[in-house]
Amino acid sequence: MTAQMSWRKSSFSGNLSCVEVACLADGRLIRDSKDPGETLRFPWRSARRLFSFVGQREVPTSTIQK
């Protein structure tokens, strides 16, 4: 299923590890760009809540792996 999906990479990530998102008719898929084999599937409402929550938070630079 995910091989034919159109994935968008987070613009926030730059060249670091990031997440990618693909749209489905009934929700969204989210995956790690460095391990694209595993995905999380969210219904639309849950995906909106997740993105809203994440968008309101700043990630401490100490948690970013280099």
Both tokens of 13, joined, read 């990530």
DSSP string, 17-57: --EEEEEETTEEEEEETTEEEEEEEEEHHHHHHHHHHHHT-
Domain residue spans in the chain? 2-57
pLDDT tens by residue, 12-22 = 666 666 888 89
Half-sphere exposure at residue 7, Cβ-oriented, CA atoms within 13 angstroms: 17
Residue 18: the pLDDT is 81
Is it the case that residue 65 has pLDDT exceeding 60?
no
The residue assigned the tokens 């009934």 is 26
pTM of the model: 0.66
Q: Cα–Cα distance between 18 and 54 in angstroms, integer?
A: 13
Percentage of the chain beyond pLDDT 70 is 70
pLDDT tens by residue, 17-38 = 688 889 999 999 998 888 888 8
Q: Cα–Cα distance between 3 and 64 in angstroms, integer?
A: 28
